[in-house]
Chains A and B, each alone.
Chain A
Amino acid sequence: MQSIGMESNWAVEHLQVIRTLMERSALYRRALAPIMIYNGVVGLAAAAAGWGLRVGSPRGFIIFWAAVCAVAMAGSFLLVRRQALKESEPFWSPPTRRVTQAFLPPLAAGLILSVVVLAGVDSAPAHLDKVIGMLWLPLGWVVLYGCAFHAAGFFMPRGMKLFGWAFILGGCGLFALGIPDWTRPLVYAYGIMGFFFGGLHLAYGIYLYFTEKNGNEP
C-alpha cells in the first residue's frame, strides 16, 4: 500500500517537474534591465526636449512622439540582438516570436489610432484639438502600451504583467481626471509621457538591474 502511494507521489512530482521545465522553456529570458533603462532614459530625455522645444501643436506632438517611438524600438531591437549574439543564440527565437506576437495587436491599435487622429486633428474644433491630440491620444497610448505588456507578460518573467497594469490603471485614472485647472496642456502632455514612458521604465529597469539573476534568468 505504501509503495502504491510512493509511486503515485513520484509520478505527480515528475509531472510537476515537466510542467515547470516546459513553462521555463517557453519564457522570454533575455535581460530586460538594459532595455527598460534605455527606454526610460529615451522617454525622459524626449519629454524634456519636447517641452523645452515647445512642440505644442497636436500634429507636432504626435509626429515628435512617433519619432521617439522609432528611436526607442530601434535601440531595444539592437540591445536584444546584441544579447542574442553574445550568447550565440538565434535572435528570432520562439519566445521572442511569442512576445512580439503578444505585443503587436495593442501596438498596432495605437498606431492606427495615431494615424486617424493625425489625419483629423486639424479639422477638430479649436478647443478640442489639444484635448484630443495631447491628452486623449497619449493616454490611449499609455493604456494600449499597458495592454501590450500585460499580454506579453504571459511569456515573460513575473512582474511584467504588473508593469502593464500600472500603465492601464494609471492611464484610465488620468482619463477620468481630465486636465486639472492648475496646469497647461503642453506641460501636462509632456508630463504624462515623461512619467509613463520615461519614469516608469527607468524605475522598473533599475529594479530589474538589481534583481535579475545572471541577467538571463526568468
Chain B
Amino acid sequence: MNPEPFLQLDRVIHEKGRLAIMSMLAASPELSFTEMRDTLNMTDGNLTTHIRTLQETGYLSVTKSFQNNRPLTTCALTAAGKKAFSNYINLLEQIIRQNKA
C-alpha cells in the first residue's frame, strides 16, 4: 500500500473537532458561533480554541458584529480553507480507492 495519501493529510484539519467545524462551514457560506456550538455540542472554550487554530492557519475568517445590541460572531471558510478542505476530501477518497484496488 502506498502510504503517501495518508501522510499528505492536513494535520490541522485532521483533528476531530476542527474537521467538524470545517465540514459545517463547507456546507454554509457562514455560521454563527452559537449555531456551531449547539450543533457540535462543544463548550465555548473548546470551540474558541479550534476556531483560533483554524484562523491562524488562514482557513477560517471570523467576523464580530452587533445585532440588536448583542455581540454576534460569525465564521466562514476562506479560499485557502475551501481548498484545503477539498484536498482533504480528495485524499480520503484516494485512500478508499487505493485500498479497494
Contacts and interface: CB of A to CB of B under 8 A. Distances in A.
Interface string A192-218: 000000000000000000000010100
B68 to A, nearest CB: 6
B19 interface: yes
Interface in B17-35: 19-20, 23-32, 34-35
Interface in A3-23: 4-5, 7-8, 11-12, 14-15, 17-18, 21-23
A88 B32 CA distance: 8
Given A88-B71, A89-B34, A90-B67, A17 B20 contact: yes
A4 B68 CA distance: 54
- Interface size bracket, A side: 20 to 34
Interface string A124-138: 000000000000000
A89 B25 CA distance: 15
A127 to B, nearest CB: 54
A95 B32 CA distance: 12
Interface residues of B, number: 32
Given A7-B6, A17-B19, A88-B70, A25 B39 contact: yes
Contacts of A18: 19, 23, 26, 89
B19, B25, B99, most chain A CB atoms within 10 A: B99
Contacts of A89: 32, 34-35, 72
A7 B95 contact: yes
Given A7-B99, A25-B28, A88 B67 contact: yes
A85 B67 contact: yes
B92 A14 contact: yes
B24 A22 contact: yes
B23 A22 contact: yes
Interface of A: 4-5, 7-8, 11-12, 14-15, 17-18, 21-26, 29, 85, 87-90, 93-95, 214, 216
Given A7-B99, A24-B24, 7 more contacts: A11-B95, A15-B93, A22-B27, A85-B67, A88-B67, A90-B74, A94-B29
5 contacts: A8-B99, A15-B89, A25-B26, A25-B31, A90-B72
